[in-house]
Amino acid sequence: MSLALDPRMIDAGAAPGHIPVAPVAVPAGYPSPSQDYFSSELDLNEYLIKDKTSTYIVRVAGDSMEPGGISDGDELIVNRALEPKDGSVVVAVLDGELTIKRLRITRAGVVLEADNPSYPPIRVRELSDLRIWGVAIRCLHYV
């Protein structure tokens, strides 16, 4: 049985930035009959971005974070106002070079860690210039 969502039932007059939302969750397991229309809208800016003045989108280059669900070409929504914590995915500037890594705060110091084990952890040396540019809050993953 296929889930038939009739495109004629989508309100084409939605406000800019608003996207129609299906009235029910769509199962990812076994198919289930569902309603054939969309009943509400979702403003992606309102849903994804809580602080517009501090939020940016950056494009990912490389595969060092791929096991964590962040792939080459994905876009990260990054909030510069958030306090980075141990385990946060951050956009870091280390000695003038940008990188996206998982921040680890250890007793031995700060480590920028890739989720891909092919990349060694970057131990931030005492005299290094490390600035956390922002904390990733969402990944826009393209399939």
Q: Which residues are catalytic?
A: 64, 101
Beta bridge partners, 91, equal 100, 134
Cβ partners under 8 Å of residue 8, min gap 6: none
- In the block, tokens 């595969």 appear at 63
Beta bridge partners, 63, equal none
Residue 102's alpha-carbon distances to 37, 69, 132, in angstroms, are 41, 12, 11
In whole angstroms, what is the distance from residue 33 CA to residue 4 CA? Answer: 8
Beta carbons within 10 angstroms of residue 94's beta carbon: 18
Beta carbons within 10 angstroms of residue 133's beta carbon: 16
